[in-house]
Structure 1
Amino acid sequence: MFSLPCFLCVGTTWMQEILPLILSGGDPASVETLPNWDRVPWLEETRASSLKLEERPSPRLFTTHFHYNMMPPSFFQVKPKVVYVMRNPKDVFTSSFHYYNITSFLVKPGSQSEFLQKFLTGKVIFGSWFDHVKGWLNAKEELQIMYISYEEMIKDLNDSVSRIAQFLGKSLEPDVLKKIADKCLFKNMKNNPMSNYSVVPQEFMDQTKTQFLRKGVAGDWRNLLTPEEAQHFDAVFKEKMKDVNYKFNWD
């Protein structure tokens, strides 16, 4: 079972909180005893090989930023359930810009205009947002994929948690689903040291500049992009996604 986020955004961290709680029937220990990168490990990180994942009971959770065409052959043989999270790319850009500025292991983004050009041309970690989304939206029909947006979860987290649980085949009582949604509210995740990256040494992630979990809102790009930059972004989006037959749930 996979949680497939779209690039650097709190949607990734959100799924690393929601899915363990659903599978554990709402047990808070599932998100309070392990940091999120160990409870839902990354396929692209070597750390996963040291976690003895084969000893974990099925279903196991993984997350990745891999493009669809980068997934290993075993993925297509097993056909696990996939939760693919999408987010307004202008907010992905905004989140990434702040994230790049607090990490020591990524190239500094440069000026906002420089980073915008890099983002729109795919010269950033994990490559093009447009190619990533198009690849997963065009995934083979026999795969079990649930597409959900960050904006949908903000609008109605209770409903989103309920739909995710249903997709995973996990039958939970309404009060349990409500408790899971409450536990996964941004303010609560921000206070969970196993989720807010506060245990990461400052030499790798300097949260004195800005917190990893910053705002947890939709539309923050309006506080960063100029009207001209936003217009240019929209033009690139329109051109890059012109052949995509999917209704995105954001403004």
Structure 2
Amino acid sequence: MTEAELYTVYKGVYVPTHLHPAESLKFYEEFSFRPDDIIIVTYPKSGTTWMQELVPLIMSGVPWLEVHRAYILNLEERPSPRMFATHFHYNMMPTSFFKVKPKVLYVMRNPKDVFTSSFHYYGMASYLVKPGSQTEFLHKFLEGKVVFGSWFDHVKGWINAEDKDRIMFISYEEMIMDLKDSVTRMATFLEKPLEDAVIEKIADRCVFKNMKKNKMSNYSLVPSEFMDQKKSEFLRKGVFCFNDVHTVDCKFY
């Protein structure tokens, strides 16, 4: 199926129509934030599921803000602090976000790894346009003709956001290299300092091998007509690679 059949253009970028029908986008635009709200923001395939596992262990549950179930979950009635997740760009945030200025955890990942993970994900998710060859998908990815638009625009927009004291920027790669330190810094930012033993338990629970066994994290309960994990697992390798003059090193999360 084509982009016109599967996607809606919202504020200049593609969003999957199945997950973002008109009523959910209207709810999103009219949503009222609170100053103590916490928002996980990622470009797709940049550690979203990982953060959705980590932050609830620090705080509590994390619903998606703009997807179709949000407007029936009575989010406005939830006690503070509320937590949400979104893939939207900075300039796509609703009016109340800029007035209230809730806290944001923004996760970045190397675009090479985002591309690879996205290529496999597009091949197994029925609500996304099939990627074609890697070369074809690379052109779409670089031109921002994929869901949630350009990785470059997404990262640039949030990095240049105002009120940076309300935003914690953290990379997928530094979380891999030292998860306990990352959890400690996130907890401090969220004003939820944790004992060392608790940090140790959170880090252990959120290593890749344990998340891959967790049915809530590996999405194995999602029907195969929506995500065909015979084509590609939702949680694959969690790999990152970096190059320097002398070596090529890959680490796995």
Query: Same-fold call, TM > 0.5?
Result: yes
Q: Which has the higher contact order (CA 8 A, sep 6+)?
A: 1
1:83 corresponds to 2:94: no
C-alpha displacement of 1:143: 5.4
What corresponds to 1:130 in structure 2?
152
CA distance in 1, matches of 2:157, 2:223: 35
2:214 to 192, 201, 205: 192
C-alpha displacement of 1:76: 1.2
What corresponds to 2:245 in structure 1?
none
Q: Contact 2:113–2:239 at 8 Å: present in 1 too?
A: no
What corresponds to 1:202 in structure 2?
224
1:105 corresponds to 2:127: yes
Give 3-state SS (helix, strand or coil) of 1:46's partner.
Answer: coil
Where does structure 2 lack aligned partners over 5 or more consecutive residues?
1-37, 243-253
Q: Which has the larger strand fraction?
A: 2
1:47 corresponds to 2:69: yes
C-alpha displacement of 1:194: 1.1
What corresponds to 1:7 in structure 2?
44
CA distance in 1, matches of 2:43, 2:147: 12
What corresponds to 1:20 in structure 2?
56
C-alpha displacement of 1:161: 0.4
Question: For 1:81-230, what aligned pairs fall within 5 Å after superposition?
Answer: 81-141=103-163, 144-219=166-241
What corresponds to 1:249 in structure 2?
none
What corresponds to 1:27 in structure 2?
none
Give 3-state SS (helix, strand or coil) of 1:63's partner.
Answer: strand
Give 3-state SS (helix, strand or coil) of 1:219's partner.
Answer: strand
CA distance in 1, matches of 2:79, 2:214: 25
Cα deviation 1:117-171 (Å, max 9, x = unaligned): 0000111000000000000000003650000000000000000000000000002
What corresponds to 1:243 in structure 2?
none
Q: Contact 1:80–1:143 at 8 Å: present in 2 too?
A: no
CA distance in 2, matches of 1:89, 1:123: 15
State the one-letter code of the partner of 2:181.
Answer: D
What corresponds to 2:28 in structure 1?
none
C-alpha displacement of 1:51: 1.4
Give 3-state SS (helix, strand or coil) of 1:209's partner.
Answer: coil
What corresponds to 2:9 in structure 1?
none
C-alpha displacement of 1:55: 3.1
Give 3-state SS (helix, strand or coil) of 2:70's partner.
Answer: helix
Where does structure 1 lack aligned partners over 5 or more consecutive residues?
25-38, 221-251
Question: For 1:54-73, what aligned pairs fall within 5 Å after superposition?
Answer: 54-73=76-95
When structure 1 is superposed on structure 2, of 137-146 and 195-204 the one drifting more is 137-146
Give 3-state SS (helix, strand or coil) of 1:62's partner.
Answer: strand
C-alpha displacement of 1:209: 1.2
CA distance in 1, matches of 2:164, 2:126: 40
Q: Contact 2:62–2:84 at 8 Å: present in 1 too?
A: yes
Give 3-state SS (helix, strand or coil) of 1:148's partner.
Answer: strand
Deviation beyond 6 Å, 4+ runs, structure 1: none
Q: What is the TM-score when the length of structure 2 is the normalising length?
A: 0.78
